[in-house]
């Protein structure tokens, strides 16, 4: 089986008010950052055993539901599970 770890994030051009609020929260703790962005993490377990096949499936899932390409983008990492 293959586990896909998907990170869905707002496109760079989109303001992220959540990230800004967390940045300010960190500053209250004297923890200073250049930038904070918040996204979503989705884990999907697939019965496929080849990463290429898994990638195709995940790309379709992202295209059709998991990601709104008007404002979001995504990256995926795969792990083969024995």
Partner 1 sequence: MKAGVIVFPGSNCDIDAYKVLEKLNVEVKYIWHDEKIDDEDLIVLPGGFSYGDYLRCGAIARFARVLENINEHIEKGKLVLGICNGFQILTELKALPGALLRNKNLNFICSDCNLIVENTDTPFTNLFKKGDIVNFPIAHGEGNYYIDDEGLRELIKNNQIVFRYQNNPNGSVEDIAGIVNKKGNVLGMMPHPERAQDKLLGGEDGLMLFKSIIAYFKEA
- Its sign, for the CA torsion 56, 58, 64, 69, is negative
**Least distance in Å: CB of 15 to partner 1?**
7
Q: How many residues bind partner 1 (CB under 8 A)?
A: 12
3-state secondary structure 19-47: HHHHHHHHHHCCCCCCCCCCCEEEEEEEC
Stretch that binds partner 1, among 15-23, 28-36, 50-58, 73-81 (CB under 8 A): 15-23
Residue placing its CB nearer to partner 1 in the complex, 38 or 51: 38
Binding site for partner 1 (CB under 8 A): 10, 13-15, 17-18, 21, 65-66, 68, 70-71
């Amino acid at each position: 089986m293959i586990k896909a770890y998907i990170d869905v994030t707002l496109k760079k051009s989109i303001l992220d008010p959540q990230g800004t609020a967390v940045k300010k929260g960190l500053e209250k703790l004297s923890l200073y950052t250049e930038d904070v962005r918040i996204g979503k993490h989705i884990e999907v377990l697939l019965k496929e055993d080849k990463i290429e096949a898994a990638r195709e499936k995940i790309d379709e899932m992202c295209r059709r539901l998991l990601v709104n390409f008007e404002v979001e983008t995504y990256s995926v990492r795969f792990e083969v599970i024995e």
